[in-house]
Amino acid sequence: MEEKQLLMIPGPTPVPPAVLRACSKPMINHRGPEFSKLQDECNRGLAACFKTQSDILTLPCCGTGALEAAIVNVLSPGDKVLALVIGSFGDRFAQIAKAFGADVERMDFEWGQAVDVAQVAARLQQDSAKDIKAVLVTHNETSTGVTNDIEAVSKVVRAHGALLLVDSVSGLVALDLHTDEWGLDVVAAASQKAFMVPPGLGFVAMSERAWKANAQAKMPRFYFDLLKAKKIQDEKKQTPWTPSLPQMYGLAEGLRMIEQEGLENCFARHRRLGGAVRAACKAMGLRLLADPKYASNAVTSIFPPEGVTNKQVRSLLLNKYGVVLAGGQGKLADEIFRIGHLGYVCETDVFSALAALAAGLRELGAKVDTAAALDAAHAELWPS
Ligand SMILES: *Cc1c(COP(=O)(O)O)cnc(C)c1O
């Protein structure tokens, strides 16, 4: 059955049938009253997910576009920026800042580890002249499967006074994030991860402090001019350019589903899924990349067993079982494979994927105790 696959990659994620149906609604006038209603509805749902009262702008772009919008709307060329890098996406955030002329100082941490907050605090304390204008951090590093403690990072950044820009593209909705309570200045996300919507929308939440910085920010911007987007959103309930209507229809439906499940239940489901993948991998004797203290509940990075390559695992699972796993990224491209377990993913999806993984590894010659792996997963997925 060619079409039926179990898509277990960290984005794009599976899209629920109701969202797909919503995406196929007829086009409307984006300068008409129905659009304003749609935009309002999406904004209400997004505010609940971001846990913020601030403005959220929805842009017709992918996650990288949202990251670019975050950078260019609050910074000027030559501004000193501290980029906290724990994997490929942290690296991308730093590269965008550099491309637009920021003076980027990188703080690199070993892949698989989270940001060492004490080290960040020490660096910021050294900066008594307050040269550092912004700190860039990834909430959930999708390339390694590590979740940073954003609340702790924010405490030390707030004490210094720099802006904190957060990439939560694969974090939001799967993992808890308190934009307002934690004092995050700019938070970027996208439609195709835990929001359960096809790719094509970027979201940027802007705090009061971010808007103050925006008034001074001189990096070039046109398509991603957030002040322009805010003005037309506030005054006319429209967008400056043609919005991605299909994805916005889908978003309204996805947000309704998230509200119906309840955000806290959604986080709990992701904790069960993450816990099951880790427990099963452990029972299969597989080594995980992430420091267990910071292991992500949205994605897991796994080293294949001795004598088996990551490519062999992924092609066998795809071709024989229709289970789609992701490879590694950046310097870990050939080293690890990743299981995405975020968004429209239920317990049985994860249970099936793990069963296929155990079977596949045995076929590739690895010594794997399938029953032990599935028992371990079962205990996490359906705790008695
Ligand atoms: C997916 C992702 C992005 C954005 O990727 P796009 O392909 O541009 O949508 C950015 N950051 C993280 C952490 C991601 O997981």
Closest CA to 274 of 4, 8, 7, 87: 8
Q: Is 170 close to ligand 1, i.e. is its CB under 6 Å away?
A: yes
Q: Taking residues 38-60, what's their average pLDDT?
A: 98
Going by pLDDT thresholds of 50, 70 and 90, the confidence category of residue 233 is very high
pTM of the model: 0.98
Q: What number is the average pLDDT over the span 291-306? A: 97
169 lines ligand 1 (CB under 6 A): yes
How much is the pLDDT for 26? Answer: 97
Whether ligand 1 lies within 6 angstroms of the CB of 167 is answered as: yes
Pairing of strands 326-327, 323-324: unpaired
CA distances from 346 to 6, 135, 295, 301 (A): 11, 35, 19, 19
Ligand 1 pocket mutation, candidates 9, 64, 150, 186, criterion most atoms within 8 A of CB:
64
CA-based radius of gyration for the chain:
21
The structure tokens listed for 340 are 């995405």
pLDDT band for position 1 (cuts 50, 70, 90): low
Dihedral, 186, 50, 294, 299 alpha carbons, nearest 10: -110
In angstroms, what is the span from residue 371 Cα to ligand 1's centroid? 35
Ligand 1 close to Cβ of residue 253 (< 6 A): no
N residues, the chain: 384
Who contacts 227 (Cβ-Cβ below 8 Å, separation ≥6)? 73, 211, 214
Sorting pLDDT into bands at 50, 70 and 90, what band is 4?
confident
The confidence score (pLDDT) of residue 3 equals 76
pLDDT at 189: 98
Q: Is the CB of 11 under 6 A from ligand 1?
A: yes
| Mutation pick for ligand 1 pocket among 91, 140, 170 (CB with most ligand atoms within 8 Å) | 170
- Which residue's alpha carbon is nearest to atom 9 within ligand 1? 63
pLDDT tens profile 89-104 = 999 999 999 999 999 9
Q: Stretch 72-94: mean pLDDT, rounded?
A: 98
pLDDT of res. 63 = 98
The CA 221 to ligand 1 mean position distance, Å, reads 20
Going by CA atoms, what residue is nearest to atom 3 of ligand 1?
A: 63
